[in-house]
Structure 1
Amino acid sequence: LGSGSFGQVRLCWPVNERSDCNKYAVKIVDTTSEVFRHAASLLSPRQEARILKALHHPHIVELIDVFEKEQWLFLVLECVSGGELFSALANPNVSVGEGSVATVGRQLFGALRHMHDQNIIHRDVKAENILLTSNPAETSRWHIKLIDFGLATQVEQSAFIWQMCKGQDIGLEELICGTAYYCAPEVWTNDYTPKVDVWAAGVVLYLALHGTFPFYNRDAGVLESLICCSKTVPTFRPVCAKECPKYEVSDIARNAVTSLLTKDIAHRPTSASALGLPWLRSSPSSRRATECTLDSARRRDAGITLLPGRAMSLDAAGFQKEARSDEIPVLVREKAGKAAARPPVDPNKEHSRTKALESLKRRAAFQCGQATRHAREAAPASPLSASGGSNREFWSPLRPGNESGGEPRAGGAGRRGLVPCAHLFRLAEPDGAQSDSTQTESDIEEGFSMCACR
């Protein structure tokens, strides 16, 4: 499903259940990775699990189980199948207006308020960490889930990001790729409160509305200056202003985002008070009514009277213009999707992880087979003879789309592995990846029972 600095996320399901019933996402953390070793004293996936166990909210991903196997830590999570939020926003077949973004913002701040009420800070709110439960192109529904609590912490704990990188060979950008654009001014001075999540959420909404970050520069030093300087402010111009000259964000949306991106932490709203901003608390119809009221007041102040039935608004100079559409241009949304894309993972590192996990699967299968064989030898009668020679009770072929016995999906022919029907989870292989079934002579000798099963 995805990869990051710490490991992979795969699709999985309990081996004693049909694969089309209860699917989960398993976050597999490689505890021997360089990033993990550097972060181990300050970051803990086990802490992520502890925090997730304390959080139960419709817009926060649910933790199902946690277990360890060899070098790997497995966090089994609710599977959020709608994909990333900004992938849906960038889809030209999906109608996206300010109302859709406001709905997302309202849900996001609801999740943050639930966390902050329990003194938990996410510290990594960003576009990539917001998923959808369903595809809006199919359901016309926006229901988000906040994920990736790897940097989450209790308020009482001290900040660590800069401490972690200080004196280490690993850079900040390698640990939290892309996150610097979401960092509040106080983060750059190592000061963390729940309001850093409010700022980051404001950046997410700004990106969705304008197709670019409020403060952007590839140079980290310049970016820090832009974010921390009290005199610099976002332009509130869409990234494609020339291509979309008629598009502008409404006043009510701009006012809300401006409040969320307040640099003075004392004046920045909390997550609870952010939910009271007119743009976030109102329905689409009431937002349109508010906009009409604002336009009417501006026309009245300018001494302009419209004929009945005419829908007009004013530009910054007070001149009449065509009524603003709530729709966000596709070009702006596509730019936002590209800006929110996850950074690529080193293919060599990815291949190494995949190979190691496939090896773990084979060893687990062999161990299960050994235990099953010993149990059969101790039993008065062989379960195989009682079942007509079938061994499906203990071994199950794993084929994409054929886990429950149906026809394989297109493109899945030739991929097959064996997984144990024990207390482990089945792991779906990455798309396009071939199982590494190579074995040495010692492997074949030690795994003879497994080969016999094949």
Structure 2
Amino acid sequence: MQQKIDIHGSEQFCIGRNAELCRHTFSESVISNRHLRIHCVLYEQDRIYETPPFVYATDMSRNGTYLRKSNIGCTSSQGRGVLMGQKSGAFLLDNGDELRMSDSLTLIYRSHIPPTASGLTALQKREARLFSSRFLLTDRILGIGGYGKVVIALHQKTQRQVACKIIKLSLNASKPTTLSLRHSTNGTRPKALPSRSAKCFREFDILKDLSHPNIITLEKVFWSSNSIYILEELVTGGDLFSYVEYKGGRLGDVQAAVIVRQILKGVEYLHDRDIVHRDLKPDNILMTSLDDGARIVITDFGNARALPEWTSVSLDKLLHKQRMFSYAGTLEFAAPEIHKKNPLISEDGGYSKSVDMWSVGCLTALLLSGDVIFTDRADPRYEKNPAAVILGLAATCNLSVLDDETHTTWSQVGSRPRNFIKKLLQLDESKRMTATESLHHPWFSDKKYAQEFDDLYQRSIRTWRPRPKIAQLVEPI
């Protein structure tokens, strides 16, 4: 007997034996009370009929679920399939994938919207075959941007799904120059790389030395003169923006605090190592699941910068070197000094790692209110020149709306989160809280809740494992 289970945008439900816990039930004794969890992520709610959904399955059973992939290239998941298990996390489903819950019960996933093909070039397909025994690239696209694209890949040894960012280097790049990594991973002589690719290599050059639950984990990098293949952990709950939409458009004080605290943990880890992200925004904060208290992950280090280490040079020279001067980030979340619009900093004064803290303040305001804090869509200039409006408001930094008792949203937000935002959105960069100071703000450190926050954080990261040591993390092909 066949049964149809519909999956709609941005929803989560369970399949199992217990009718109180599951939306769809089956009575077989080998089926667990909660056997499978299905969740669907949509990144563009306003284009719901054009956006291929990302449907994930997570095994929650005692007896396990076997996943048989429709892609015959996934050799280990053919036949009976690969045993998912409770510790395997969520698996992104492709059209035709089979989920075997028992000897007599198999679910087959069918997508009404065909996913976009990966569109790898002939050369990229040949290069991918060189490492396909270790990582198999699939045709399933996770995202497309100016940098290139992100596709699903399969770690052949463990059958884990990972994300692979593919960056195509310009064929008209300037003459090769020697670009060495900050710390050699294997002691070998650096190879000549196209100088235009320096920014692309900077992303994994920074990530290769990082290991933290709230920072995306780099799995492996392959590179050629044509393309870079950056393999990272697959984070399955969507980005922070889609999560806020899933929760109804904005979060309550406690929900927001749990997320902001994790972001601060990640930023503190970065800043302690003199690394500045420079593009903290909802799109670059990923959720491991749609559950409350899920682990969050900071991703996309394409704009990140590692500041010079302390040396014997004069203090003035060092402080100057620790300033940055290039444009980076996203307008709604960027500190005004990045765009030379901070009235307290000269146009040639650059900026410091405190720009990340400004971004955290803007992120927090978005979580609590459902909108960016420095915008005015009623301004007649906004339609033609939104940048001028946004930067003008940021440069003025008028936060009176936070204390407006008649405001429909901010009047419902507690005093501590509002004070937290004020402590970060400071034009005087020396007055902005650091990440460490922010973690000690009363919003998180109140005696009534501090231990609960700590306990919740430990639960959120309990399944995270640091990347095992790899002899050659970055490998030419």
TM bracket (short chain) = 0.5 to 0.7
Output the amino acid matched with 1:200.
Answer: S
SS at match of 1:66: strand
How much has 1:286 moved relative to structure 2? 6.7
1:113 aligns with 2:268: yes
Contact 1:210 1:236 in 2 (8 A): no
* CA distance in 1: counterparts of 2:244 and 2:257, whole angstroms: 13
- Cα distance in 2 for residues equivalent to 1:55 and 1:147: 12
**C-alpha deviations, 1:265-317, integer Å up to 9, x for none?**
111111111111111334885799xxxxxxxxxxxxxxxxxxxxxxxxxxxxx
- Count of residue correspondences: 264
Does the CA-based 8 Å contact 1:105-1:280 persist in structure 2?
Answer: no
Counterpart selection for 1:152 from 295, 301, 304: 304
**Given residue 388 of structure 2, which amino acid in structure 1 is its aligned partner?**
G
- Displacement of 1:89: 1.7
Aligned to 1:198: 357
CA contact (8 A) 1:102 1:279 kept: yes
Q: Quote the Cα distance in structure 2 between the aligned partners of 1:229 and 1:84.
A: 30
Query: Which of 329, 334, 347 is the matching residue for 1:183?
Result: 334
Q: Confirm or deny: 8 A CA contact 1:123 1:152 kept in the other structure.
A: yes
Partner of 1:371: none
Superposed CA offset, 1:315-335 (max 9, x none):
xxxxxxxxxxxxxxxxxxxxx
CA separation of 1:204 and 1:93: change in aligned 2, threshold 3 A: closer
Structure 1 residues 228, 88: closer, same or farther in 2, change over 3 A? same
Contact 1:6–1:35 (CA under 8 A) maintained in structure 2: no
Deviations 1:9-41 (A, max 9, x none): 111013x446xx31110111121289999x965
Report matched runs for 1:43-442 at 5 Å: 44-69=199-224, 71-92=226-247, 96-136=251-291, 140-156=292-308, 159-162=324-327, 179-189=330-340, 191-217=350-376, 218=382, 219-229=386-396, 232-233=398-399, 235-236=401-402, 244=408, 248-282=412-446, 285=449
- Give the structure-2-normalised TM-score: 0.50
Q: 1:36 to 1:279 in 2, by over 3 A?
A: farther
CA gap of 1:264–1:33, structure 2 versus 1, over 3 A, is farther
Q: Is the CA contact (8 Å cut-off) linking 2:444 and 2:450 kept in structure 1?
A: no
Are residues 246 and 229 of structure 1, via their aligned partners in 2, closer, same or farther at CA, if it must alter by over 3 Å?
closer
**Greater share of residues in helix:** 1
CA separation in 1, counterparts of 2:410 and 2:282? 26
SS at match of 1:131: strand
Whose relative contact order is higher, 1 or 2, with alpha carbons under 8 Å and at least 6 apart?
1
Task: Determine the structure 1 residue equivalent to 2:148.
Answer: 7
Shift of 1:193: 1.2
User: Which residue of structure 1 aligns with residue 33 of structure 2?
Assistant: none
- SS of 1:274's equivalent? helix
Aligned-partner Cα distance in 2 for 1:148–1:36? 25
Q: Which amino acid aligns with 1:3?
A: I
Q: Give the CA deviation at 1:211.
A: 1.5
Residue 35 to residue 182, structure 1, CA distance change in 2 (3 Å): farther
Within 2, Cα distance between the matches of 1:4 and 1:160? 24
Identical positions, percent: 29
Q: Which amino acid in structure 1 is aligned with residue 300 of structure 2?
A: D
**Structure (1 or 2) with the greater strand fraction:** 2
Go from structure 1 to structure 2 and tell me whether the alpha carbon gap of 1:216 and 1:266 turns closer, same or farther (over 3 Å shift): same
The answer to whether the Cα contact below 8 Å between 1:8 and 1:27 also exists between their aligned partners in 2 is yes
Structure 1 Cα separation of the partners of residues 257 and 410 of structure 2: 21
Q: Which runs of 5+ in 1 are unaligned?
A: 163-171, 289-454
Distance 1:35 1:277, change over 3 A: farther
Distance in structure 2 (CA, Å) of the matches to 1:35 and 1:86:
35
Residues 155-191 of structure 1, C-alpha deviations (whole Å, 9 max, x = no match): 23663534xxxxxxxxx8xxx6xx0111112212262
Given that 2:402 and 2:410 are in contact with CA atoms closer than 8 Å, whether structure 1 keeps it comes out as no
User: Which deviations, in whole Å up to 9, do the C-alpha atoms of 1:25-82 show, x marking residues without a partner?
Assistant: 0111121289999x96595121111110121111000001111245221100011111
Counterpart residue type for residue 324 of structure 2: A
**In 2, Cα distance between the equivalents of 1:28 and 1:268?**
37
Alpha-carbon distance change, 90 to 123 in structure 1, aligned in 2, over 3 angstroms: same
Cα distance change of structure 1 residues 126 and 35 upon mapping to structure 2, 3 Å threshold: farther
**Does the Cα contact within 8 Å between 1:82 and 1:133 map onto a contact in 2?**
yes
Contact (CA 8 Å) 1:30, 1:36: kept in 2 or not?
A: no
Shift of 1:195: 0.5
1:383 maps to none
SS of alignment partner, residue 235 of structure 1 = helix
TM-score (norm 1): 0.52
Q: Residue type matched to 1:144 in 2?
A: I
SS of the equivalent of 1:61 reads: coil
Task: State the alpha-carbon separation in 1 of the partners of residues 359 and 213 from structure 2.
Answer: 20
Opposite residue 145 of structure 1, the aligned amino acid is V
Superposed CA RMSD: 3.4
* 1: CA distance, partners of 2:332 / 2:228: 29
